[in-house]
């Protein structure tokens, strides 16, 4: 496909990314702090073509354009194309001279507050179990919603652990934050209503999940690996 978006694309209002490729491009741009124009300049293509790729699910760039775009976004063609979707993070090789640092409490809170998906570890009758949950940080606490009878709902009046991380396989670097604290089910309907209003996202798993759990941190630690 030629690297030329439709003639009126340059004058169209900037739209939201659509399609798998478009969302991956937009997300990686955001991670690097790049505009569409910046990305196009790095990749040797126009910013309007980058916009075309993001906003048109049927866009089909050729392999050369994908390679240049991946290079501009400091990632791989496989990552952009979704070839790593079903692979766990961390499949890349370690670098020769990684730098390991401990994060301050303020840095940990800043990373936690970006929201997203975290891993909840709770004690059960058969032993500790770890499950992913969509979470939000509200009033210096980790909150998430679940359904009665699920594994996350067992985080009631227990000491629980909660972990979030970000792994960059391309550069073999990343960070993680670990929270340990008291987990309690929110029983007050008014508090639950306020959490509902301030929640960042609904659970990806879908279904009726209106049981709120709140983890008040006792200890927060974090670490980062950079090249």
pLDDT in tens, 138-184: 999 999 999 998 999 998 889 999 999 987 766 677 899 999 999 99
Helices 36-43 and 19-32 cross at an angle (nearest 10°) of 100
**Residues 163, 199 within the same domain:** yes
In a domain, 24, yes or no: yes
Going by pLDDT thresholds of 50, 70 and 90, the confidence category of residue 6 is: very low
Give the rounded percent of residues in the chain with a pLDDT score beyond 70.
85
**Residues 23, 69 within the same domain:** yes
Q: Classify residue 112 by burial, with Cβ atoms within 10 Å: 0-12, 13-18, 19+.
A: buried
**Residues 52, 113 within the same domain:** no
| DSSP secondary structure, 164-211, as one string | EEEEETTTTEEEEEEEEEEEEE---HHHHHHHHHH-S---TT-S---E
- For the chain, give the mean pLDDT: 85
Q: What's the whole-number mean pLDDT along residues 195-223? A: 91
**Residues 26, 125 within the same domain:** no
* CATH number of the CATH domain containing 110: 2.30.110.10
Least confidently predicted of 18-27, 37-46, 150-159: 18-27
pLDDT value of position 170: 60
Helix (H) or strand (E) holding 23: helix 19-32
Distance from CA of residue 183 to its chain's centroid? 23
Please give the residue that has the higher pLDDT: either 214 or 80.
Answer: 214
Q: What's the whole-number mean pLDDT along residues 30-58? A: 93
pLDDT at position 101 over 70: yes
Let me know: does 100 contact 225? Beta carbons within 8 Å.
Answer: yes
**Residues 143, 220 within the same domain:** yes
The angle formed by the CA atoms of residues 104, 110 and 113, to the nearest 5 degrees, is 140
Please give the residue that has the higher pLDDT: either 221 or 202.
Answer: 221
**Residues 123, 188 within the same domain:** yes
Q: What's the whole-number mean pLDDT along residues 38-55? A: 94
Q: Classify residue 224 by burial, with Cβ atoms within 10 Å: 0-12, 13-18, 19+.
A: middle
Distance from C-alpha of 192 to C-alpha of 187, rounded to nearest angstrom: 8
In angstroms, what is the C-alpha Rg of the chain?
Answer: 21
**Residues 106, 72 within the same domain:** no
The total of other beta-carbon atoms located within 10 Å of residue 198's CB is: 12
pLDDT in tens, 169-178: 666 778 999 9
pLDDT at position 205 over 50: yes
In total, how many domains does the chain have? Answer: 2
pLDDT value of position 49: 94
Residue linked to tokens 């032993």: 127
pLDDT value of position 200: 83
Q: What residue numbers bound the domain in which 41 lies?
A: 9-81
**Residues 18, 110 within the same domain:** no
- Cα dist from 166 to 55, 78, 89, 191, whole Å: 26, 18, 9, 30
**Residues 220, 172 within the same domain:** yes
In a domain, 49, yes or no: yes
In a domain, 3, yes or no: no
pLDDT value of position 134: 93
Helices 63-72 and 36-43 cross at an angle (nearest 10°) of 120
Going by pLDDT thresholds of 50, 70 and 90, the confidence category of residue 19 is: confident
**Burial letters for 8-25: b for 16+ Cβ neighbours within 10 Å, e otherwise?**
ebeeeeeeebeeebbebb
């Amino acid at each position: 496909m030629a690297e030329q978006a439709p003639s009126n694309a340059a004058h169209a209002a900037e739209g939201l990314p659509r399609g798998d490729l478009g969302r991956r491009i937009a997300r990686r741009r955001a991670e690097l702090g790049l505009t569409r124009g910046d990305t196009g300049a790095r990749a040797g293509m126009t910013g309007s073509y980058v916009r075309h790729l993001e906003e048109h699910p049927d866009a089909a760039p050729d392999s050369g354009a994908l390679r240049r775009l991946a290079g501009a976004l400091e990632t791989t063609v496989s990552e952009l194309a979704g070839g790593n979707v079903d692979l766990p993070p961390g499949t890349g090789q370690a670098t020769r001279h990684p730098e390991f640092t401990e994060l301050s409490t303020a840095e940990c809170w800043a990373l936690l507050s970006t929201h997203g998906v975290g891993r909840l570890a709770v004690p059960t009758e058969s032993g500790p179990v770890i499950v992913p949950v969509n979470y939000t940080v509200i009033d210096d606490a980790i909150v998430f919603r679940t359904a009665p009878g699920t594994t996350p709902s067992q985080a009631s009046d227990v000491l629980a652990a909660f972990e979030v991380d970000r792994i960059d396989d391309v550069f073999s670097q990343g960070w993680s934050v670990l929270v340990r604290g008291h987990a309690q089910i929110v029983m007050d309907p008014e508090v639950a209503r306020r959490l509902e209003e301030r929640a960042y996202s609904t659970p990806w798993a879908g279904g009726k999940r209106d049981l709120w759990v709140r983890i008040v941190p006792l200890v927060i630690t974090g670490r980062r690996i950079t090249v």
